[in-house]
A and B are shown apart, each in its own frame.
Chain A
Amino acid sequence: MVSKIIKQVLLYALAVLLLIFTGVPFLAMVNSSFKDQLEFMQSPWSLPDAITLENYAYLLETDFITYFGNSVFVVTISVIITIFLSAMAAYPLARLNFKLNTPIFVLFLVGMMIPIHTTLVPIFQLTVGMGLYDTLWALIGPYVAFALPVSIVIFRQFLRELPKELEESAQIDGCGHFMLFWKILFPLLTPAIATITIYNFIIMWNEFIFALVLTNSPGNATLPLGLRDFQGDFSVNVPGMMAALTLASVPLLLIYFFAQEKIVKGIAAGSVKG
């Protein structure tokens, strides 16, 4: 079957073409991060003659560690708050009947389509007014607020699928709503919590515009903001810049290799309901 072979060849050709399209920029980045400056000047995109780690060592002398630490701090706190608030909010929306149930849920859904720029000036004013401007705390409010809609959608979906008997048996035991939620339902949410943690981690780790508007001094910069500053400082040291970009992506790549399915679930759940 000649036509079958041709088909196979075309299929592989397309697959490899897509592989080049998606993979090469990434490969070029990691590749040039292992070169010294001189070699980069001579042949920027070839494989390195000898792998050098000097670019990575140099990063340790810069503010990179500060930026990295700031990002970890802001993202960790924001994700934890998001988990608790959205899980709590999802409980009545998923399992209790009340008049405002649908309107409130729709209100959160609408949040998924709002361009965040519409809120930028007021949030800037609010942050200045609260005395949080140019602190890492300034970022937590907006990060949580804009993470809530997707997280509530995922938790609500998950809570709806838990059996109704959980409530009934809890009521027989004389367990109130708070006890029922914290002691029985919340521990069952672990898979959803993992999905939401990972999904929000990726988005918050990469967040740029709130950090740009709400902080100012380098000591309070998160990683994306710091990378932008590096772009000026490293304009002649391209391999150094590439090392910074590579290192900034490492946490996400680690998450990806260990929890691919969770990311996929987060994306699917966050959008199917749109």
Chain B
Amino acid sequence: MSQYGNDSTADTTYQEKPEVKSREKKRRDRKTGWVIFGFLAPAMAFYFLYVVFAIFMTVYYSVFEWSGIDDDMNFIGFQNYLTMFADGAFWQSVGNNFLLVFSSLFTQLPLGLIMALMLFSPIKGIRFFRSIYFMPFLMSTVAIGILFTYIYDPTYGLVNEFLRAVGLGNFTRGWLGNEATAIWAIIVVVIWQFAPFYMILFRAAIVGIPEDLYEAADIDGATPWQRFTNVTLPLLMPTIITSSILSVIGALKYFDLIYVMTGGGPNNSTHLMATYMYDHAFSHFNMGYGSGISFSMFIIALIATIFILWFDRRRKGEF
């Protein structure tokens, strides 16, 4: 570094003035370059090793037949992907993932919005309500999964106890042991866990809406519903878009809850791509195939994000 410095100062003495300036500037730029590198390098090192490099390695591993615990790697081209396309359990997991994505979008977000609006309504002790509303988000997903396993328990579970208490004893069942109900039982828990998160996002956005817009609406004689559809909702649109991205990406990432509550069963009916991938890579030690599945997850997450951003562009263009 200092070598460069010496060289250029030695040269500059013979140059005309503007030249001197640009040389001097170049020298400073080069020094700044090193400074920038110094600040960024440690974070970049972690990020490249564990994220960027890892994604490329996933692609690489996905073209091998490989257990992952020995050196016996067998190049098989796209065979893992072909197997995947013909694998019914894989498609079931993709279907469940999409079910989760849509239920997230159309229940978590509206519920989060309703909860956020509640926080601005004239209710006494709203701070207390807010504190409780937010609590599900604080528990670890593993703890939530275990807790709800007991709540859904066929014999002493809270859900069945409640149904018996209100005279709906016929509806009691083993919610998680039943192929028809298991995925829905899990989706309810996911909603329970994440609605508070969107409540916080919407609350922050509503706080940011300028008060005079509401005053103007009042002068125009707007009803509360009109205030909501003409002022609140349009101004919340950017938050709704980012929340959608977060909820779609989040839904594609779900793992902990399924792993703890059902392990993908009964009969693969609750597998998500993440749990299915884990099953192959780390339970059956088929890491080549597992890598194929996880790279597909990456592609789907990418497409989903691009789609939402495109949708947002189009919406902005039309209004």
- A residues with CB within 8 A of B: 8, 11-12, 14-15, 18-19, 21-26, 28-29, 40-41, 44-45, 84-86, 88-89, 91-93, 96, 98, 104, 107-108, 111-126, 141-142, 144-146, 148, 152, 176-178, 181, 202, 205-206, 208-209, 212-213, 223-225, 227-228, 231, 238, 241-242, 245, 248-249, 252-253, 256-257, 260, 263-264, 267-268, 271-272, 274
Contacts and interface: CB of A to CB of B under 8 A. Distances in A.
Contacts of A178: 35, 38
Given A118-B294, A141-B50, A241 B43 contact: no
A50 B276 CA distance: 45
B139 to A, nearest CB: 5
Interface of A is mostly: helix
A192 B301 CA distance: 29
A181 to B, nearest CB: 7
Nearest to B252: A115
A89, A120, A178, A264 pick with most chain B CB within 10 angstroms: A120
A61 B148 CA distance: 25
A122 B46 CA distance: 14
A88 B45 CA distance: 13
Given A89-B40, A202-B138, A122 B61 contact: yes
Interface in B146-177: 146-151, 156, 158, 161
A117 B58 CA distance: 10
A44 B134 CA distance: 25
Nearest to B29: A98
Given A119-B58, A228-B260, A238-B150, A208 B50 contact: no
B43 A148 contact: yes
Given A23-B132, A123-B50, A228 B57 contact: no
A249 B295 contact: no
Contacts of B132: 19, 22-23
Given A85-B43, A205-B140, A98 B55 contact: no
Interface of B is mostly: helix
Contacts, number: 262
B53 interface: yes
B46 A145 contact: yes
Contacts of A28: 147, 151, 158
Contact of A111 (B51, B68, B118, B142): B51
Contact of A115 (B40, B42, B49, B274): B274
B204 interface: yes
B54 A14 contact: no
Contacts of B203: 264
Given A11-B121, A116-B253, A264-B204, 4 more contacts: A45-B158, A117-B273, A121-B287, A141-B46
Nearest to A100: B36
A120 B294 CA distance: 8
B47 A248 contact: no
A208 B253 CA distance: 12
A80 to B, nearest CB: 13
Contact of B146 (A26, A108, A231): A231
Contact of B200 (A8, A146, A176, A264): A264
B311 interface: no
B243 interface: yes
